[in-house]
Amino acid sequence: MEKHDFIPEWLEREPDQQTFRSIFKWGEKDRFKHPAQGFYTVIKEALGLSNVDFQTPVNLGAKSVENTLKTTISPEDIILFETIVGRENLFLDTYSRLKYSTGKSMEDILHLRQGKIEDISDIVVHPRNRADIIKIVALCHEKKIPLHVYGGGSCVTLGLTCPKGGVTLVMNTHMNKLIQFNEINHTITVEPGMMGPEYESLLNHAPERLNAKRRYTGGHFPQSFEFSSVGGSTATGPKINDIMKGSEGCFGVLVAVTMKTFFYQPGTARQFTFMFPEFEIAVKAAQQISQAESGMPSILRVSDSEETDVAMKMYGLEGSLPDKYMGFKGLKPGSRCLLMGQTDGEKYFSKNLFKQIKKICKTNQGLYLTGYPMKKWQKGRFSDPYMRDALNDFGILIDTLEASVTWDRLQALYHAVRDYIKKQPHTICMTHASHFYAQGTNLYFIFITKMQDVDEFRSFQRGIIEKIEENFGSLSHHHGVGRMMAPFMEKHLGKNQMDILRAIKKHFDPHNIMNPGGLGL
Amino acid sequence: MEKHDFIPEWLEREPDQQTFRSIFKWGEKDRFKHPAQGFYTVIKEALGLSNVDFQTPVNLGAKSVENTLKTTISPEDIILFETIVGRENLFLDTYSRLKYSTGKSMEDILHLRQGKIEDISDIVVHPRNRADIIKIVALCHEKKIPLHVYGGGSCVTLGLTCPKGGVTLVMNTHMNKLIQFNEINHTITVEPGMMGPEYESLLNHAPERLNAKRRYTGGHFPQSFEFSSVGGSTATGPKINDIMKGSEGCFGVLVAVTMKTFFYQPGTARQFTFMFPEFEIAVKAAQQISQAESGMPSILRVSDSEETDVAMKMYGLEGSLPDKYMGFKGLKPGSRCLLMGQTDGEKYFSKNLFKQIKKICKTNQGLYLTGYPMKKWQKGRFSDPYMRDALNDFGILIDTLEASVTWDRLQALYHAVRDYIKKQPHTICMTHASHFYAQGTNLYFIFITKMQDVDEFRSFQRGIIEKIEENFGSLSHHHGVGRMMAPFMEKHLGKNQMDILRAIKKHFDPHNIMNPGGLGL
């Protein structure tokens, strides 16, 4: 009989310096989060595990990264780079090279946990300004040395690995400054290494810090907000007017980005949560909201039933009074789905949009659960990624993949991917849509399974990408391409469109030194 | 003493077939519009003219286009084109070739009025479908024959001229059909030769014509709506994901376009008109509306004082009771400015937006004039272009240029262009902003002057473009590049961005047969 009061010894200790763990650990080194007992129980059941499986952690990555790997760049060339940025901004040690060649995909983390050092850069350079970058790019071009760009390091698509070695530019060390705030045009121009919290704080405190008349917000809060830089935007290839955006370092190095700003007026925000009898109906409501022409909510999220059930347990709502009421209303676990979100903007715009959303949801059998669950989600969402470390310590893998899809293809894509994932025994698959447009939305798949072998995991994940591709999902809605999606780009975009990217690549980078192989180029 | 009851004999007769006039006349051959007496008086005064100047019309283009110009394409090649599209879809006569190499810029019209035949294509081809176009492009590529595309013919940027001759494809003859309506995604896919009214009618009558559940609208009503095809969108160069959009026939031929659709719900529309004491204040109100985060009006238009004064006279409002009331409120001719527009969308969204706009306008000294003038403007706007023919008959030229500009640069651009135009003696310069974004707007300059010489007019116009360019306006907000703006592209976009366009051009069209010289490529 399974003991119900067993609590795993979640490892919540600051990693030692220079260890593999200090590289892959999420976020602040002294912040941790482990699954609540409700979620722990879900995982055990779904993955077919017992308390025994949570007695001995595995692959903690506690070893130090040994400084054994020689750089392949010649001493003469290293001196040339030093001359540009100064000795204090250039690093050749294995730890630095590994750190800045690694992102946050499950595959990155598995490699680090296993002490694997592969596909890393030869030199880590922290450029101080645009002038440094111009010189570095020219030097790399001349010497045919590959060049990679590291922003905040939150990449989940293997975008930071350096299969051909070369130089990695770290942008968030020095190139993180304000360039210009333009209150008349509602824009701000910053260096691309500025991190999310600093960016948002600048705008929120615009009167004090920017001498502005009002407070502003960037209005952009990815879950990686605290640990990602502003430089990463859009996915699946570049646009021509902003040809650098989405080019993932294949065409050049971004040295400044201008973004729209919005009024910071938290007082006008209204949160809402609804429970629907099933996913298809919840999606239909979200579609109607997106096509209602009454403006768009700033946050909207529809969870499928598996994610909804986990959420109910994670937040300790299972068996609660609201849960019983839902059951009474016919909203049962295994089928019911959460829709939640927030309206923002001018006071009465936000108020009316909130009203219209309520109307649409009620027409579609949605039960209003107040704004409380939404507020609770908002509070926890930035700390949820810390949980991955805790689960990984016991060999449980978590990763995500996401795709854009038009409304008419959504259900087919959802079922194809979900069926594929659920074929893997003892696997959790939680799905939600989080970005909405009149023409479609995205589907965000979170999969949790126990697996140790990187190759097995990789082939499982590649299978998901294939399902997305077959069902007319885009390869990415917002994560980007990286080396994970790169092999699928040609099939996804088609030869004609890839040939255009190749022509542009050749134009910008005839020696193919800029993130070679990135975007599939 | 000038007779006040003199009315010029405006030429309102259907042009004879095969004449130059039948090519340049605006719109339906039997529809006409001439200036009302109020506007006639304005023109006489502003241009320093008298009734005598309106007694003898000039350059009416009544001559027939003689079929004298030999085509330079070999008879063998002509047969190859005939084999593709059939004899009935291929024309070699000078009239056809001239007609489809001419748009609606003042320069196009002056040339036609003077009987000039220059820079025309060698063959006019009306492709029936995508397959025809694939064969035509392949043939042109093989034989190195230039290829141009004609949509609806409303181009005002010299985008249809063929300095190197070659083939012109006419899209609105056969390639004007519905491909697919997708009610789930709110999109419609059509061939690019479909004309505005048919496109809008399809959507408005969606239940009857497309078996849809609701009525829709394209929501896009340029003044050329009745006589332009759907294929023309965006300006100043292409984007990469939609690399064909804005490429003006330099990269290839569009054979299908998918566009967003919106609910057709005229019952929710609300019109508004305000009078402001001066242009700067009216612009400030429009800026606040655009940045208010309460949604955007579907129509918004701010006229400067010269345009406002002309409008008051055109609509016979000068000296009326509302005019006197405005004077009493300190809103004087020579300074006061109209702001008008319409809100649309979901009923309460539209209602709230209307309320917020009123609030912003009143805070900025705007006097509310009801929705009546706006409705009047909407009624007349599609027929206003007919007036150009009437004025041209007496040697009075009218043309327009437009530019996008961010809010912080708007006033400098406005004054620089206006000062330049007004330096030309006896010239009307009416300016308005008609497209609004949180970050900026466009300025649309209408200039009216008496001039006969094409070269003099061209150099006057090129001077305006230079002023726009110097003052950080874009070369175009929505008219496009054409051969009018082409010589300015390199300076405007910079060498780096032009080199990208060149690289793409070279990739698509190594023999430079697609609209050679277009976009400055």
Structural domain spans, chain A: 178-263, 266-380
Per DSSP (E only), the strands in B208-314 are 216-217, 257-260, 262-263, 270-276, 299-303
Range list of β-strands (E), A200-296: 216-217, 257-260, 262-263, 270-276
- For residue A91, pLDDT over 90 is answered with yes
- Mean pLDDT for B163-188 is 93
- What is the pLDDT, as a whole number, of residue B252? 79
Instruction: Return d(Cα A245, Cα A238) in angstroms, integer.
Output: 6
For residue A311, pLDDT over 50 is answered with yes
Residue A381 has pLDDT above 90, yes or no: no
Q: How far apart are CA B90 and CA B71, in angstroms?
A: 13
Strands A147-150 and A123-125: unpaired
Which position has the higher pLDDT, A325 or A382? A325
Say what angle helices B279-290 and B410-423 make with each other, to 10 degrees.
140
C-alpha to C-alpha distance for A34 and A22, rounded to whole angstroms = 18
**Bridge partner residues of A443 (DSSP):** A403
CB contact under 8 A, A353 and B349: yes
With cut-offs at 50, 70 and 90, classify the pLDDT of residue B2: low
pLDDT (0 to 100) of residue A259: 83
Model confidence pLDDT, tens digit, residues A345-375: 999 999 999 999 999 999 999 999 999 888 8
A260 lies within 8 A of chain B by CB: yes
Report chain A's mean pLDDT, rounded to a whole number: 91
* CB-based contact, B352 to chain A, within 8 Å: yes
Dist CA A53 CA A9 (whole Å) = 12
Query: What's the token pair of residue A499?
Result: 């040939």
Class at the top of the CATH hierarchy for domain B178-263: alpha beta
pLDDT of A242: 62
Instruction: Calculate the alpha carbon distances from B154 to B80, B123, B196, B249, B299 in Å.
Output: 30, 20, 12, 15, 22
Tokens coding A373: 């669950």
> How many whole angstroms separate alpha carbon B4 and alpha carbon B447?
25
- CA atoms of B426 and B451, how far apart (whole Å): 11
The answer to whether B214 contacts chain A (CB < 8 Å) is no
B520 interfacial to chain A (CB closer than 8 Å): no
Place of tokens 């067993």: A6
DSSP state of A259: E
Q: What is the pLDDT averaged over residues A296-313?
A: 94
The pTM (predicted TM-score) of the whole model is 0.89
B202-257 per-position pLDDT tens digit:
999 999 999 999 999 988 887 777 878 776 564 443 335 567 777 888 887 877 88
CB contact under 8 A, A346 and B504: no
Q: Is the pLDDT of residue A223 over 90?
A: no
Which positions in chain A touch B292 (Cβ < 8 Å)? 346
Beta bridge mates, B428: B448
Given a cut of 60, whether residue A234 has pLDDT beyond it is no
Say whether pLDDT at B411 is over 70: yes
Instruction: Round the average pLDDT of chain B to a whole number and report it.
Output: 91
| B45-78 b/e (C-beta count within 10 Å ≥ 16 → b) | ebbebeeebbeebebebbeebeeebebebeeebe
Answer whether residue B24 shows pLDDT above 50.
yes
Query: How many separate helices (H) and strands (E) can be counted in chain A?
Result: 19, 17
Q: Is B480 on the interface with A (CB under 8 A)?
A: no
Topology (CATH level 3) of domain B266-380 = Alpha-Beta Plaits (3.30.70)
The count of C-alpha atoms lying within 13 angstroms of the C-alpha of B184, restricted to the half-sphere facing its C-beta, is 11
Q: How confident is the model at residue A336 (pLDDT cuts 50, 70, 90)?
A: very high
Q: Which helix (H) or strand (E) holds A314?
A: helix A305-314
Q: Any bridge partners for residue B227, and if so which?
A: none
Give B-chain residues touching A239 at CB under 8 angstroms: 239-241
A434-465 burial, b at 16+ Cβ within 10 Å, e below that, comes to: bbbbbbbbbbbbbbbbbbeebeebeebbeebb
A288-292, B455-459, B491-495, range with greatest mean pLDDT? A288-292
Q: Is the CB of B177 inside 8 Å of chain A's CB atoms?
A: no
Count of CB atoms situated within 10 Å of the CB of A2: 10
Indicate if the pLDDT at residue A1 is higher than 70.
Answer: no
Which positions in chain B touch A250 (Cβ < 8 Å)? none
For chain A, what percent of residues have pLDDT higher than 90? Answer: 66
How many angstroms away from the CA of A292 is the closest CA of chain B?
Answer: 6
CA distance B243 to A179: 31
A503 touches B at CB < 8 Å: yes
Q: Please say if the pLDDT value at position A171 is more than 90.
A: yes
Q: Contact B251/B244 with Cβ under 8 angstroms?
A: yes
Taking the Cβ of residue A214 and every Cβ of chain B, the question of whether any pair is shorter than 8 Å is answered with: no
Q: Answer yes or no: do B185 and A408 touch at CB < 8 A.
A: yes
CB nearest A240 (choices: B185, B500, B506) = B500
Amino acid identity, position B50: S
pLDDT at res. B356: 98
Average pLDDT over residues A368-387: 86
Q: Using CB atoms, pick whichever of A239, A293, A499 lies closest to residue B262.
A: A293
The pLDDT-based confidence of A307 (bands split at 50, 70, 90) is very high
Rg (CA), chain A: 24
Read off the amino acid at residue B187.
T
Give the pLDDT confidence of B48-65 residue by residue, as tens digits: 999 999 999 989 999 999
* pLDDT tens track for A243-296: 777 788 888 787 788 888 899 999 999 999 999 999 999 999 999 999 999 999
The arithmetic mean of pLDDT across residues A14-31, rounded, is 94
The amino acid sitting at B415 is H
Q: In 3-state terms, chain B is what percent helix, strand and coil (to 5)?
A: 40, 15, 45
What is the per-residue pLDDT for B426?
Answer: 93
In contact, A394 and A247? CB cutoff 8 Å:
no
Alpha carbon distances (Å) from B516 to B140, B149, B168, B270, B473: 12, 12, 12, 46, 26
Chain A within 8 Å of B286 (Cβ-Cβ)? no
Integer Cα distance of B267 and B282 in angstroms: 28
State how far the alpha carbon of A320 is from the alpha carbons of A323, A324, B415, in Å.
Answer: 5, 6, 67
Instruction: Summarize pLDDT for B345-399 with one digit per residue, the tens.
Output: 999 999 999 999 999 999 999 999 999 888 888 888 888 888 888 899 998 999 9
pLDDT of residue B234: 43
Q: Amino acid letter at A494?
A: G
Q: Which residue has the higher pLDDT, A459 or B239?
A: A459
Tens of pLDDT, residues B65-110: 999 888 899 999 999 999 999 999 999 999 999 999 999 998 999 9
Task: Please give the interface size between A and B, counted as residue pairs whose CB atoms are below 8 Å apart.
Answer: 116
Task: Give the model's pLDDT for residue B219.
Answer: 84
- Quick one: closest CA in B to A188, which residue? B439
Could you give the CA distance from residue A315 to residue A320 in angstroms, rounded to a whole number? 10
A238 pLDDT higher than 80? no
**A237, A352, A439 ranked by CB distance to B240: nearest:** A237
B157 confidence band (pLDDT: 50, 70, 90): confident
How confident is the model over B414-447, as pLDDT tens digits? 999 999 999 999 999 999 999 999 999 999 999 9
Q: What percent of chain B has pLDDT above 70?
A: 97
Q: Test A260 with B439 for CB contact under 8 angstroms.
A: yes
Q: Which of A54-63, A336-345, A370-379, B409-418 has the lowest mean pLDDT?
A: A370-379
The pLDDT assigned to A2 comes to 59
Check pLDDT > 50 for residue B277: yes
